[in-house]
Structure 1
Amino acid sequence: MASAANLVNLERVSKSYGVRVLLDDVSLGVGQGERIGVVGRNGDGKTTLLRLVLGLEEPDTGRISRARGLLVGHLQQRDALADTHTVREAVLANRSDHEWAADPRTREVVEVLLAGVSLDRAVQGLSGGERRRCSLAALLLGHHDLLVLDEPTNHLDVEAVAWLADHLAKRPSALLVVTHDRWFLDAVCQQTWEVHDGTVDTYEGGYAAFVLAKAERQRQAAASEVRRQNLVRKELAWLRRGPPARTSKPKFRIDAANALIEDVPPPRDRLELQRFAAQRLGKDVLDVEDVDLVRGERTLLSHATWRLGPGDRVGIVGVNGAGKTSVLGLLSGELAPSAGRVRQGRTVALQHLTQHVDDLDPEARVLPTIESIRRVTRTADGEISASSMLERFGFTGDRLTARVGDLSGGERRRFQLLRLLLTEPNVLLLDEPTNDLDIETLNVLEDFLDGWPGTLVVVSHDRYFLERVTDEVRALLGDGQVSMLPRGVEQYLEHRAEALRREDEALRVQQAADTAAAADAASLPGAARPRAGSAQERAARKTIARIDRQLARIAEQQAELDTLLATHADDYERLAELSASLGDLAADRDRLESEWLEAAELLDD
């Protein structure tokens, strides 16, 4: 019998697709208030498990029971928003501003997730990231006994991910979440389920606890998979360097797990890698000298100077739209500076992983394509064949001979990344490399980068990956510089919180001044009324400020599309897509400019 505290119970559940068994005789339960993270390789059954819990699919055998009257909220990877609705209708059920703003919980969700998005804008014109934020906001504004989230951190920046983790940790709802964001798992989850080989193993704690417990289980079982063991050990060595709180909660023998890594060196020898990097690269790698970078009407960099040396490993953070992708384009030479210069060393062999996967030939086959680049690759463990390298990145069996066009989004990302690494670059620029990658593939990538003696620049919202593979964090803070943060992401979040606090304080001071001025004017004998009420003027100023931000973002997007138009000049299908996107942006710009003029008239009357 299911416990009275259980919301959902799976009893001896099995599920197959064709000859492939995803779940085999699995028994699990989700209790009230429990927060559970689900991990495993792409394709091993994580999403299927979620769909069974939700009742969207039925098991082949076994039984699934749910508490009576259970209210379940579901965030899918693809949103279900109606294009004909406005954001206000889709997220706020058409509530007016004074209605939703009066509730502190609703106001916080809207201000964080919908920052910069007009509530009266049509859903049809939103970008993929904006639609994702709208879906998440609509879900969090509801009241549920159980939240089931599939990759909730997609399209969120580091700041928004930190807010979401804190928000979910405070909610009374039970939580079942699939995510590759390991920092998020640590911050939110009390249990971890690992889906693999038709089974689901359960662990107490978040990701750090999961890694420690898994290593202990493998030690007790005398696991024979040497390479897998080494990956887990290196991950443990990394976790051991982290905050003590990471290892304070697991309910198992931590001493035994620590004994497993007693003689394991740090994940990488930074000085040794820099020595090798210096031999391959020489002293000069990339020098940004007194550079201005302007995109549309926005100045992203102003008199910025930055030197990247051999073996440097740098992460770049900043809010969405701060210009992180543009900075990578500047370093790669794809974008020219508006002033100043970017110098590249003579021995530099640079590769740039963008966020786009449309540069792959859909008719090409996986293994022949990789072998055409390099049949044998040198790694920290020695030479390895192309097929073995593909296996490390999750391509086995019929996937080795599959057409690239038949690969899933995650497989295409893995293939794109592997193809880039096999060219043996000595400078890597990675733009959101963790998109669509499962945790096991991330471990493989991190292991590869541990022994890679080159210069690395990473833009990522995956805080764990950023801290794991880089030694230095720099931020775009809106001051035109690439600022170094000695304390990394934590310092960046502190800076952003302080900046937002100062903005709020300045707004309160302005509002107080407006109120005082209105009172003084009203007290004068025969004084005329203010041309527009102070509340109306404040609303107009806020509208203008909001529209200015949106117009700046549109200008940046238009500049990026213009660059892509030049890049894909011979691809007529792609040109048509880009032209359509430019048309949508132009329509949004015209609408916003009309709103701006209407607000400005209120101040000029």
Structure 2
Amino acid sequence: MNLISVDNATKYWGEKPLFENISFGIQQGQKVALVAKNGGGKSTLLNSIVGKEPLDGGAIAINKDVTVGLLEQDPAFDPHQSVLDYVLSSDSPILKAVRNYEEALADSSKDYSDQILKKLDVATAKMEELKAWDAEARVKQILTAFKIEDLSAPMKSLSGGQKKRVALSKILIEEPNLLILDEPTNHLDLDMIEWLEEYLTRSRLSLLLVTHDRYFLDRICNEIIELTDSTIYTHKGNYSYFIEKKAEREANEAASVDKAKNLMRKELDWVRRMPKARGTKQKFRMDAFQDLKKKANSGRKEEKAEISVNMSRLGKKILEFEDVYKSFADKKIVEDFSYVFKRRERVGIVGDNGVGKSTFLNMLTGKEGIDSGDITKGETIVYGYYTQSGLSFDENAKVIDIVRDITEDHTMSDGTSLTPSQLLQRFLFEPEQQHSFVSTLSGGERKRLYLCTILLTNPNFLILDEPTNDLDLATLSVLEDFLEEFQGCVIVVTHDRYFMDKLVDHLFVFEGQGKIKDFNGKYSEYREYVDEQERLRKIAVKEERDRKQQLEKKVQPKTSTKKLSYKEKIEYEALEKEIEVLETEKETIEAKLSDGSVTDVDEIREISERLGKVMEDADEKMMRWMELDEIANG
């Protein structure tokens, strides 16, 4: 089924076309990525599809039976609405029942009055009537994955990252036919990104996605739409295939343009020698010359950022931590941490949101004090600190004035001297854009400008806190190349796994409560290590559980006088239904694996992994049900 059709769509930004006469469609089951440079019109196109941004020409049609969910980069909220009300604000009767049940359950944990318990009874009966227990389990699964715990909190109390996670949860819970996600991995920690990646991979939802996360793109999408020079190019396959085919296309285009230029030289010679009287043949050849000229001049400008820095001299002594301790009240950030940084150090920092990574970076630069220990900084250190909070420009300032305030004449690493305008051109700001106001820049263009201002200080110790958010893929590639050649130290906090794998030599893993583990390896190697440790832990838990069960069989059970609380009774009844749902799914998966209908190796692997997860969840719920059953019937 065709979900959406874009037909000759055109949109201008002032006099500049963002896209012009572009056409494409999305079919049911497709997972499509939209790729373009910063300011190339990606977000505008997404907003046009859902009707939030009018077109200047063409049309966009959405199938009348299709529901569309849009995740914007900066979602809008009613500040007074609670998280629960927002997440479950849907016309779906099942989601309404889940919301009423969750509200009643939360109220019953604080108030055992007859009125509250009656409300819970009514909500439970409605859940039973609509068979909504499966939906309720899915809601909890999604909210848990994104660490959304306080459902009664007003939206205005949440941070920007929390709001983005709540908005993403709402869209996944509603399960529209077509998901449109604009930079969904921003503000997610690595565990959340990997959970979302797995969820979208195995779901049947259709998807239109904008993201800079190349691993995410590669593993989820089966088609790439490239928006460049106001034109659409469609590539079947994942991101790796897209890169390969894009390189082939550009090579062919370059060869075609070179051929046209050679022919044009010959034609130009003929035109100059041509007699003034133009017969039919001469007129035909003159028209052909104009077409050839157009073709010869059609080659794209090589728009590639040039990032370089005249790095300050770095002495032998760089930076040393010795028995450093830092906490906020009872929350430890760093405990007894010692480390000596070396020349060309490449460190990645990983850990859950809120565990203290940004505080650690501020301690490193002296912006945040320490409680005890010593941090010794070398005399030659010049920090270049790229932070999320540091991205603040005067909205009414012109782009070129931002650079002029830093330098009027900048010496580069090769000894050349550049004006502010020349510097900005290296960062892909064309002369006409340099005199635009900051307020007109896209999110990615602001990040590129900010990166430019950081590097103008000639740092020899770079600290990059989420540098990849909103940067386009081309700029990311150039930044990676620059950092690989950078002779100073680099510390990176990022949720971009590809970026980290390419650059870092080892990781500082923030495990919580002040514990920092130095892992010698890249992020992918660390994930393999974590997965193996988790596998061993599950084996140990199972063995211990089996041992206890064997011991319990030998011991005469004591008569229990304990009774189930009302809350436990509700949990007991819900578990029966949840176990039944999991057992049904288990039987369905096992039948699918055994009937020979699935032959694709990757699909078999995914189905087998899901079967393992279902069996594990069923076992855990069964153990809890047995505990409650023993109390209920003991």
Q: TM-score, normalised by structure 1?
A: 0.70
> Who is 2:218 aligned against?
186
Q: Does 1:431 align with 2:427?
A: no
> Who is 2:20 aligned against?
24
2:494 to 453, 460, 472: 460
Matches within 5 A, 1:495-514: none
> Who is 2:479 aligned against?
445
The answer (yes or no) to whether the contact 1:194–1:202 under 8 Å persists in 2 is: yes
Paired residues in the alignment total 480
Comparing 402-411 and 162-171, the one that deviates more: 402-411
Task: Name the CA distance, whole Å, in 2 between partners of 1:190 and 1:152.
Answer: 18
Q: Shift of residue 528 of structure 1?
A: 6.6
* Partner deviation per Cα, 1:266-305 (whole Å, 9 max, x = no partner): xx9xxxx9xx99x932322111111112123211211111
1:474 aligned partner, one-letter code: F
Q: Shift of residue 95 of structure 1?
A: 4.2
* Partner deviation per Cα, 1:308-342 (whole Å, 9 max, x = no partner): 11111111111101111011111111122212111
The answer (yes or no) to whether the contact 1:291–1:303 under 8 Å persists in 2 is: yes
The answer (yes or no) to whether the contact 1:377–1:422 under 8 Å persists in 2 is: no
Q: Shift of residue 21 of structure 1?
A: 1.4
2:326 to 279, 293, 316: 293
Q: Shift of residue 368 of structure 1?
A: 4.0
> Who is 1:245 aligned against?
none
The answer (yes or no) to whether the contact 2:18–2:41 under 8 Å persists in 1 is: yes
> Who is 2:450 aligned against?
416
Task: Name the CA distance, whole Å, in 1 between partners of 2:16 and 2:226.
Answer: 18
Q: Shift of residue 388 of structure 1?
A: 3.0
Matches within 5 A, 1:584-595: none
The answer (yes or no) to whether the contact 2:425–2:431 under 8 Å persists in 1 is: no
> Who is 1:148 aligned against?
180
Q: Shift of residue 127 of structure 1?
A: 1.6
Q: What's the secondary structure of 1:51's corresponding residue?
A: helix
> Who is 2:429 aligned against?
395
Percent of matched pairs sharing the same residue: 34
1:68 aligned partner, one-letter code: K
Task: Name the CA distance, whole Å, in 2 between partners of 1:118 and 1:504.
Answer: 33
The answer (yes or no) to whether the contact 1:331–1:342 under 8 Å persists in 2 is: yes
1:441 aligned partner, one-letter code: T
Matches within 5 A, 1:361-372: 361-362=394-395, 364-372=397-405
Q: Shift of residue 175 of structure 1?
A: 0.5
Task: Name the CA distance, whole Å, in 2 between partners of 1:348 and 1:414.
Answer: 24
> Who is 1:561 aligned against?
none
1:315 to 348, 354, 360: 348
Distance 1:521-1:148 versus aligned 2 partners, 3 A rule? farther
The answer (yes or no) to whether the contact 1:35–1:188 under 8 Å persists in 2 is: yes
Q: What's the secondary structure of 1:284's corresponding residue?
A: coil
Distance 1:26-1:532 versus aligned 2 partners, 3 A rule? closer
Structure number with larger C-alpha Rg:
2
Q: Shift of residue 505 of structure 1?
A: 9.4
Q: Shift of residue 507 of structure 1?
A: 13
Task: Name the CA distance, whole Å, in 2 between partners of 1:24 and 1:498.
Answer: 50
* Partner deviation per Cα, 1:386-416 (whole Å, 9 max, x = no partner): 3233123232233312344654443333222
1:37 to 33, 53, 65: 33
Q: TM-score, normalised by structure 2?
A: 0.67
Comparing 74-83 and 314-323, the one that deviates more: 74-83
The answer (yes or no) to whether the contact 1:351–1:429 under 8 Å persists in 2 is: yes
Q: Shift of residue 530 of structure 1?
A: 7.7
> Who is 1:573 aligned against?
none
Task: Name the CA distance, whole Å, in 1 between partners of 2:202 and 2:320.
Answer: 45
Q: Shift of residue 173 of structure 1?
A: 1.4
2:199 to 134, 142, 167: 167
> Who is 1:14 aligned against?
10
Task: Name the CA distance, whole Å, in 2 between partners of 1:377 and 1:225.
Answer: 36
2:84 to 80, 83, 88: 88
The answer (yes or no) to whether the contact 2:510–2:516 under 8 Å persists in 1 is: yes
Task: Name the CA distance, whole Å, in 2 between partners of 1:224 and 1:389.
Answer: 32
> Who is 1:238 aligned against?
none
* Partner deviation per Cα, 1:449-493 (whole Å, 9 max, x = no partner): 233211010111122222233333321122634323334223444
2:431 aligned partner, one-letter code: G
Task: Name the CA distance, whole Å, in 1 between partners of 2:160 and 2:366.
Answer: 27
Task: Name the CA distance, whole Å, in 1 between partners of 2:564 and 2:346.
Answer: 57
* Partner deviation per Cα, 1:344-403 (whole Å, 9 max, x = no partner): 112211121221146545555432442453423424796655323312323223331234
Matches within 5 A, 1:77-226: 77-92=73-88, 93=96, 94-97=99-102, 103=135, 104-113=137-146, 115-222=147-254
Distance 1:362-1:54 versus aligned 2 partners, 3 A rule? closer
The answer (yes or no) to whether the contact 1:485–1:491 under 8 Å persists in 2 is: no
Task: Name the CA distance, whole Å, in 2 between partners of 1:101 and 1:387.
Answer: 61
1:422 aligned partner, one-letter code: L
The answer (yes or no) to whether the contact 2:42–2:210 under 8 Å persists in 1 is: yes
1:105 aligned partner, one-letter code: R
> Who is 2:602 aligned against?
none
Point out where structure 1 has 5 or more consecutive residues left out of the alignment: 227-267, 540-605
The answer (yes or no) to whether the contact 2:350–2:507 under 8 Å persists in 1 is: yes
Q: Shift of residue 68 of structure 1?
A: 3.5
> Who is 1:328 aligned against?
361
1:52 aligned partner, one-letter code: S
Task: Name the CA distance, whole Å, in 2 between partners of 1:534 and 1:60.
Answer: 58
Q: What's the secondary structure of 1:7's corresponding residue?
A: strand
Task: Name the CA distance, whole Å, in 1 between partners of 2:531 and 2:148.
Answer: 17
Task: Name the CA distance, whole Å, in 2 between partners of 1:439 and 1:381.
Answer: 29
Q: What's the secondary structure of 2:313's corresponding residue?
A: helix
